[in-house]
Amino acid sequence: MSRRFDDYFEKKTILITGAASGIGRAAAVLFAKQGANVVCSDVDDKLGHETLALVQKAGAEGIYVHADVTSRQEVRALVKQAIQTFGKISFLFNSAGSAINRCSFLDIDDALLDKTFNLNFKGTFYAMQEVLPNMLENKHGVIINMASMAQKRGGPGTSVHYASAKGAINTLTLGVAREFASRGIRCLSISPGPIETAFQAASNTTKEMSDKFAADIPLGRIGQPEEIAELALFMCSNACEYMTADTVYVSGGGGWK
């Protein structure tokens, strides 16, 4: 018999980085509608508080905490506040990330490389290290990391730096999942193709680039944040208990050339 998770998330707590917009916001609202407590984190306080308002409008409890994921100290303070407020963290969704700036491989300088790995890889690494002790104490937890279809293709011409950081996240996900599988922890990653979020503009994605991305998608459109959030919800649920260590590609069939 198929297992449903209608009340599975009730009063369980999820911590979401990058919750101010895009996929992070969509996930915050979706988990809230399932009854979860939602800890929203970002560096954009205005949009972060807007997400919190949406969480509360959905009938769930939540808090917003300003935290720069590139700072271990701020991530530690974020996790501490989440635990003080809700007692334990059942789910972590590392949604914060950006390509910072798109450029050719030879134009990647040290500053861009450092910013890219600090935000995408170290931000994910810090959150996992800070949250895992609480999950291990409670013998349960699911961690979802945001990877990218880019790591499958390498990001030639526009984002080798970003693709490399996301490839490292998949390796990190695999290692942590296998190390802690016997202690009640599952860890997965999601590798989307192009998704319609502020990410594209923030990373200086030109219209020409966007058109090229879209032309490679058999389903004929860019993905929506809610579609990734739905997958994250399923991954965290009791309908997905045999899945860990893997990444799931969500690309509309594109991105394989």
Active site residues: 162
- 3 state SS of 95: coil
Amino acid 63 reads I
Residues 116 and 161: beta-carbon distance below 8 Å: yes
Residue linked to tokens 């002790």: 133
Q: Which residues pair with 37 in a beta bridge?
A: 13
Distances (CA, A) of 207 to 7, 49, 145, 204, 256: 43, 30, 28, 9, 21
Amino acid 238 reads N
End-to-end alpha carbon distance in the chain: 39
